[in-house]
Structure 1
Amino acid sequence: MPIIFRTTGYYLALSLIFTSCKTVSTRGDAVDVAPIESVDSTKTSDNSARERLIREKEAKIKGYQASNNRDFDLLHTQLKVKFDYSSQTVNGEALLTLKPYAYPQDVLVLDAKDFDIHNTSILIGAEEIPLTYKYDQEKLILLLPEQVNRYDTLQVAIAYTAFPERGGKAGSAAITDTKGLYFINPEGEEKDKPVQIWTQGETVHSSKWFPTIDSPNERQTHDFFIKVPDQYISLSNGNKVDSQTNADGTRTDHWQMNLPHAPYLSALVVGEFAVIEDSIDGLALRYFVEPIYEEGAKKVFENTPEMISFFSSLLQMPFPWQKYDQVVVRDFVSGAMENTTLSIFMEALNLNEREALDSEWDYIIAHELFHQWFGNYVTTESWANLAMNEAFADYSEYLWLEHKEGRDHADMHHFNAIEQYMGEAEEKQVDLIRFYHEDSEDMFDSHTYAKGGRVLHMLRKLLGDEVFFEGLRIYLKDNAFNSVEVHQLRLALEKVSGKDLNWFFNQWFLSAGHPQLKVSWDYSQPDNVKLTLEQLQDVSRFPVFQIPFKVSIYKEGKRIEQSYTMDRAMQQFTLENGPGTDLVLFDEFSEILSTREERRGGELMKEQFRWSTSGLSRVEALDSLTSNYSDELDFLATMQAALEDSFSVVRELALHRLNRLEAEAGEVLQLEQKVLKMAEEDPNNAVRAAAIEALAGMNSGKFEQLFYRLINAPSYQVAGAALTAYLDIEDNVSEKRELYQRLKEEENIRIIAPLADYLTREKIAVEAVWMQEKLDKLDGESLYYFLGYYGDFFASVEGVSTAQAISTLGELASGHKQNYVRLAAFQSLFGFIDEAGVLTLVKSIQAAEEDEMIRQYQEYYISPYLENN
Structure 2
Amino acid sequence: MRFDTLPLLFVLLASSRAAFAQSNAERMANDRYTRSHDYDLLDQRISLRDFNWDSTSFEGSVITTLMALRPGLDSVILDAGSKLQIAKVTDRSGRVLRSTTHGDTLVVYLPRPIAFRDTARFTVAYHGRVENGRGLTFIQNEGRAHRPQQIWSQGEDDNNHYWFPTYDFPNDKMTWSLEATVPGGYTAVSNGSLVLDRRNPNGTRTMTWRQDKPSATYLVSLIVAPLVKIHDAWGTTPVDYYVYREDSARARPLFHLTPDMIDVFSRLTGIRYPWAKYAQTTVADFFGGMENVSATTLVDWLPDARAYADRPWYWWILIPHELAHQWFGDYVTTENWANMWLNEGFAEFLPGQYWATRLGRHAEDDYYLDEYRQFMQIDAQRRMPLAAMASNNIYPKGALVLRMLQRYLGPQRFWAAVRRYLTDHAYDNATTDDLRQAVLDATGENLDWFWDQWIYQAGYPEFTVAATYDSARALLTLAVKQTQADSATADSTGLRYATPTVFRMPVTIRVATGAGDVVHHAQLDQREQAIEITGVKSAPTMVIFDEGNAILKTLSFDQPVSWLAAQLERDPDLWNRHWAIERLAGRLADSSAVTALARAATSSDYFLTRMEAAESLGSAPAEAALPALERAASDTSAQVRAAAMNALGRIGGDRATELARHAWAQDTSYTVRGQALAALARLDTAGRRALIVRGLATPSYQSAIANAAWGALIQANDMSLLPQVDSAVGTAIEPSFVLA
TM over 0.5: yes
Q: What is the aligned counterpart of 1:236 among 187, 190, 197?
A: 190
Distance 1:492 1:231 in 2: 49
Q: What is the aligned counterpart of 1:530 among 472, 477, 480?
A: 477
1:337 correspondence with 2:290: yes
Which residue number in structure 2 is paired with residue 72 of structure 1? 39
Secondary structure in 2 matching 1:140: strand
Distance 1:397 1:138 in 2: 38
Which residue number in structure 2 is paired with residue 589 of structure 1? 548
Distance 1:715 1:275 in 2: 30
For residues 802-844 of structure 1, give each alpha carbon's deviation from its aligned partner in whole angstroms, at most 9, with x where no partner exists.
xxxxxxxxxxxxxxxx9x9xxxxxxxxxxxxxxxxxxxxxxxx
Distance 1:492 1:683 in 2: 45
Q: What is the aligned counterpart of 1:85 among 36, 53, 78?
A: 53
Distance 2:376 2:106 in 1: 43
Report the CA distance between 1:77 and its aligned residue.
0.8
CA contact (8 A) 2:692 2:725 kept: no
Q: What is the aligned counterpart of 1:353 among 275, 290, 305?
A: 305
CA contact (8 A) 1:296 1:356 kept: no
For residues 244-278 of structure 1, give each alpha carbon's deviation from its aligned partner in whole angstroms, at most 9, with x where no partner exists.
12233321111111111100011011112343322
Q: Which is strand-richer, 1 or 2?
A: 2
Gaps of 5+ in 2: 1-17, 19-26, 488-497
Q: What is the aligned counterpart of 1:116 among 56, 62, 85?
A: 85
CA contact (8 A) 1:121 1:131 kept: yes
Q: What is the aligned counterpart of 1:640 among 581, 589, 599?
A: 599
Report the CA distance between 1:306 and its aligned residue.
2.2
Higher relative contact order (CA 8 A, sep 6+): 2
Distance 1:211 1:687 in 2: 53
Distance 1:457 1:406 in 2: 16
For 1:289, give the aligned amino acid. Answer: V
Which residue number in structure 1 is paired with residue 14 of structure 2? none
Report the CA distance between 1:89 and its aligned residue.
1.8
Report the CA distance between 1:703 and its aligned residue.
7.6
Secondary structure in 2 matching 1:313: helix
Alignment of 1:464-613 (within 5 A): 464-525=410-471, 527-539=474-486, 541-543=498-500, 544-555=502-513, 561-580=519-538, 581-613=540-572
CA contact (8 A) 1:117 1:161 kept: yes
Alignment of 1:106-505 (within 5 A): 106-114=74-82, 115-123=84-92, 127-165=93-131, 179-185=134-140, 188=142, 193-332=147-286, 334-347=287-300, 349-358=301-310, 359-361=312-314, 362-434=316-388, 437=389, 442-443=390-391, 445-446=392-393, 448-505=394-451
Report the CA distance between 1:193 and its aligned residue.
3.0
Distance 2:31 2:382 in 1: 19
Distance 1:557 1:367 in 2: 45
Which residue number in structure 2 is paired with residue 791 of structure 1? none
Distance 2:674 2:411 in 1: 42
Which residue number in structure 1 is paired with residue 643 of structure 2? 690
TM-score normalised according to structure 1 size: 0.73
RMSD, aligned α-carbons: 3.4
Which residue number in structure 1 is paired with residue 3 of structure 2? none
Q: State percent identity of aligned pairs.
A: 28
Secondary structure in 1 matching 2:284: coil
| Change in CA separation of 1:210 and 1:294 when aligned onto 2, cut-off 3 Å | same
Which residue number in structure 2 is paired with residue 660 of structure 1? 619
| Change in CA separation of 1:383 and 1:709 when aligned onto 2, cut-off 3 Å | closer
Secondary structure in 2 matching 1:212: coil
Distance 2:724 2:427 in 1: 62
CA contact (8 A) 1:122 1:130 kept: yes
CA contact (8 A) 1:275 1:286 kept: yes
Distance 1:420 1:261 in 2: 31
Distance 2:238 2:732 in 1: 39
| Change in CA separation of 1:561 and 1:393 when aligned onto 2, cut-off 3 Å | farther
| Change in CA separation of 1:563 and 1:275 when aligned onto 2, cut-off 3 Å | farther
Distance 1:304 1:407 in 2: 21
Distance 2:659 2:383 in 1: 54
Q: Which is helix-richer, 1 or 2?
A: 1
Report the CA distance between 1:192 and its aligned residue.
5.0
CA contact (8 A) 1:704 1:726 kept: no
Report the CA distance between 1:770 and its aligned residue.
4.3
Moved more, 370-379 or 618-627: 618-627
CA contact (8 A) 1:355 1:715 kept: yes
| Change in CA separation of 1:277 and 1:531 when aligned onto 2, cut-off 3 Å | same
Which residue number in structure 2 is paired with residue 621 of structure 1? 580
Distance 2:695 2:549 in 1: 48
Distance 1:557 1:286 in 2: 58
The number of residue pairs the alignment matches comes to: 692
For 1:87, give the aligned amino acid. Answer: S
Distance 2:371 2:469 in 1: 33
TM-score normalised according to structure 2 size: 0.85
Report the CA distance between 1:393 and its aligned residue.
1.0
Report the CA distance between 1:732 and its aligned residue.
10
Distance 1:286 1:644 in 2: 42
Gaps of 5+ in 1: 1-6, 8-59, 167-177, 782-817, 821-869
For 1:533, give the aligned amino acid. Answer: V
Report the CA distance between 1:504 and its aligned residue.
1.5
Distance 1:426 1:744 in 2: 37
Q: What is the aligned counterpart of 2:64 among 85, 90, 96?
A: 96
CA contact (8 A) 2:695 2:706 kept: no
Report the CA distance between 1:148 and its aligned residue.
1.0
Which residue number in structure 2 is paired with residue 30 of structure 1? none
CA contact (8 A) 1:307 1:400 kept: yes
For residues 268-308 of structure 1, give each alpha carbon's deviation from its aligned partner in whole angstroms, at most 9, with x where no partner exists.
11112343322222322222333333333333223222222
For residues 62-84 of structure 1, give each alpha carbon's deviation from its aligned partner in whole angstroms, at most 9, with x where no partner exists.
99733222411111111110222
Distance 1:100 1:557 in 2: 74
CA contact (8 A) 2:697 2:729 kept: no
